Amino acid sequence: MFRLISTVQVKTCSKCYPVYIGFNLLDFLNVFLSRNDLKGKFALVSHKSLIDIYGGKIISSINRLDSDAVIIDVPEGEESKSLNVLTQIYDVLVNNRFDRWSTIIAFGGGVIGDLAGFTAATFMRGINLVQIPSTLLAQVDSSIGGKVAINYRGKNIIGAFYQPNLVVTDLNLLKSLPIREFNSGLAEVIKYGVVVDPQILNILENCSKPLPDDVIAELVTRSCNCKARIVEADERDEKDIRIMLNFGHTIGHAIEAASNFKINHGEAIAIGMVYEAKLSVMLGFLDVDVVDRLINILSRFGLPTSVNQLDIERILSSLRYDKKIKHGKIRLILLKSIGNPIVHDDVSIGSIRKVLKM
Ligand code: GLY
């Protein structure tokens, strides 16, 4: 049987949907699909490595609804978020006579969520979408909130806001994640703790390691709640609310790029959070104790906290190309205290250079 731990409801202007969080949910996918009135044709978009292990149980679960599913195997990696792969998926859907009542199941991490989500958003002007995130990062962030996109001469250049009909978050999937990837997802969990829900930080400071199942379930539930509340308040990222989720991301993305992506997303966000917190101290908003606390929590989970050997000028030049630069000025999320972020519209490159050298 499955063990449903929590259901987070997301209520946006465009769609209301549940995020089911628990153990062993994949085997009973039919229960969650039928609770949400999904039947007809399904396309399972995923990677071979996941299809080999879980494809069978997902398809049999769909068959229990007297429905059929086609499997669409997409190569791993950011390169799959392309027009070329997108049209290959459209071809499979057209060849199999998918219609407006059909459903795409996005089963994977951020790349699959973005690509399959964008397919669902655009095929027949929008069909049903189920997100089944397989990584911690996707479970607490990208599967919720409807940002979907492909790359075109730059990252996420063609995209949409398109909310899923439901999200099925099976925590068993985390058990096979490499520890580096799991910790990378924890960086986003820590970010929610810093920006929205300070209780997350208390849990991470006091829990045993490796994290017990009940602690993981609580952290994922709390993180999904944070994301849901923020998305509800600012679905289309235009009110300076959703942007708070970018704490650590502006400097983090520049670090990721300057390292030629040897530093992964979560690790770069961890370092970015430390420097954006240090900047908050330097500009007089934040008490330095918060930076020390943040560094201790990140280090507890093996996450890096400094730019070390990276070329600071390279980080700064990546920063100049960030999408969040508004009217030539760098917009950063700074902190006044834990749980109290602010948008700062006018941070100078000079002050960022100074903080990166600290
Ligand atoms: N990952 C940030 C957002 O969804 O807005």
Question: Which residues constitute the domain of residue 333?
Answer: 181-356
Confirm if 298 and 187 have CB atoms less than 8 A apart.
Answer: yes
Rounded CA-CA distance 273/249 in Å is: 7
Q: Which atom of ligand 1 is nearest to the CA of 243?
A: 5
Instruction: Quickly tell me which residue has 């250079």 as its tokens.
Output: 353
Q: Residue 293 belongs to a domain with what CATH number?
A: 1.20.1090.10
Closest CA to 191 of 145, 241, 141, 258: 141
- Residues with CB under 6 Å of ligand 1 are 141, 145, 147, 237, 242, 245
For residues 258-270, give the mean pLDDT.
Answer: 95
pLDDT tier at 297 (50, 70, 90 boundaries)?
very high
pLDDT tier at 310 (50, 70, 90 boundaries)?
confident
- Are 103 and 40 part of one and the same domain? yes
Mutate to test the pocket of ligand 1, among 147, 156, 196 (most ligand atoms within 8 A of CB): 147
For residues 141-167, give the mean pLDDT.
Answer: 97
pLDDT at 87: 98
Mean pLDDT across the chain: 96
The string of pLDDT tens digits covering residues 241-254 is 999 999 999 999 99
Q: Residue 120 belongs to a domain with what CATH number?
A: 3.40.50.1970
- Are 223 and 345 part of one and the same domain? yes
What's the structural domain count of the chain? 2
Q: Which atom of ligand 1 is nearest to the CA of 230?
A: 5
Query: Rounded to the nearest whole angstrom, what is the distance from the C-alpha of residue 322 to the centroid of ligand 1?
Result: 15
Residue whose CA is at the smallest distance from ligand 1 atom 5: 242
Is 0.85 surpassed by the pTM of this model? yes
Rounded to the nearest 5°, which phi and psi values hold at 159? -160, -175
Q: Which of 159, 176, 193 is the last residue of a domain?
A: 176
Query: Rounded to the nearest whole angstrom, what is the distance from the C-alpha of residue 48 to the centroid of ligand 1?
Result: 27
Q: Which of 145, 176, 207 is the last residue of a domain?
A: 176
Q: What is the 3-state secondary structure (H, E, C) of the chain?
A: CCEEEEEEEEECCCCEEEEEEEECCHHHHHHHHHHCCCCCEEEEEECHHHHHHHHHHHHHHHHCCCCEEEEEECCCCHHHCCHHHHHHHHHHHHHCCCCCCCEEEEEECHHHHHHHHHHHHHHHHCCEEEEEECCHHHHHHHCCCCEEEECCCCCCCEEEECCCCEEEEEHHHHHHCCHHHHHHHHHHHHHHHHHCCCHHHHHHHHCCCCCCHHHHHHHHHHHHHHHHHHHHHCCCCCCCCHHHHHCCHHHHHHHHHHCCCCCCHHHHHHHHHHHHHHHHHHCCCCCHHHHHHHHHHHHHCCCCCCCCCCCHHHHHHHHCCCCCEECCEEEEEEEEECCEEEEEEEECHHHHHHHHCC
Query: Rounded to the nearest whole angstrom, what is the distance from the C-alpha of residue 311 to the centroid of ligand 1?
Result: 28
CA within 13 Å, CB half, 184: 20
The string of pLDDT tens digits covering residues 176-214 is 999 999 999 999 999 999 999 999 999 999 999 999 999
The string of pLDDT tens digits covering residues 5-16 is 999 999 999 999
pLDDT tier at 358 (50, 70, 90 boundaries)?
confident
Query: Rounded to the nearest whole angstrom, what is the distance from the C-alpha of residue 221 to the centroid of ligand 1?
Result: 17
The string of pLDDT tens digits covering residues 90-143 is 999 999 999 999 999 999 999 999 999 999 999 999 999 999 999 999 999 999
Partnered with residue 186 across adjacent β-strands are none
Task: Evaluate if residue 325 carries a pLDDT over 80.
Answer: no
Which has the minimum average pLDDT: 111-120, 253-262, 303-312, 318-327?
A: 318-327
pLDDT tier at 287 (50, 70, 90 boundaries)?
very high
Query: Rounded to the nearest whole angstrom, what is the distance from the C-alpha of residue 261 to the centroid of ligand 1?
Result: 20
For residues 168-176, give the mean pLDDT.
Answer: 97
Q: Which atom of ligand 1 is nearest to the CA of 246?
A: 2
Confirm if 104 and 58 have CB atoms less than 8 A apart.
Answer: no
pLDDT at 324: 61
pLDDT at 233: 98
Percent of the chain scored above 70 by pLDDT?
A: 98
Cα dihedral angle (228, 233, 238, 244), rounded to 10 degrees? Answer: -60
Residue whose CA is at the smallest distance from ligand 1 atom 2: 245
Hey, which residues are catalytic here?
125, 147, 188, 227, 238, 242, 246, 249, 253, 265
pLDDT at 326: 63
For residues 147-165, give the mean pLDDT.
Answer: 96
pLDDT tier at 319 (50, 70, 90 boundaries)?
confident
Rounded CA-CA distance 164/162 in Å is: 7
Mutate to test the pocket of ligand 1, among 139, 142, 162, 232 (most ligand atoms within 8 A of CB): 142
Task: Evaluate if residue 323 carries a pLDDT over 90.
Answer: no
- Are 243 and 160 part of one and the same domain? no
Q: Which atom of ligand 1 is nearest to the CA of 144?
A: 4
Mutate to test the pocket of ligand 1, among 131, 141, 189 (most ligand atoms within 8 A of CB): 141
Pairing status of strand 68-73 against strand 128-133: unpaired
Q: Which of 176, 206, 231 is the last residue of a domain?
A: 176
- Are 9 and 130 part of one and the same domain? yes
Query: Rounded to the nearest whole angstrom, what is the distance from the C-alpha of residue 237 to the centroid of ligand 1?
Result: 8
Partnered with residue 325 across adjacent β-strands are 330
- Are 187 and 62 part of one and the same domain? no
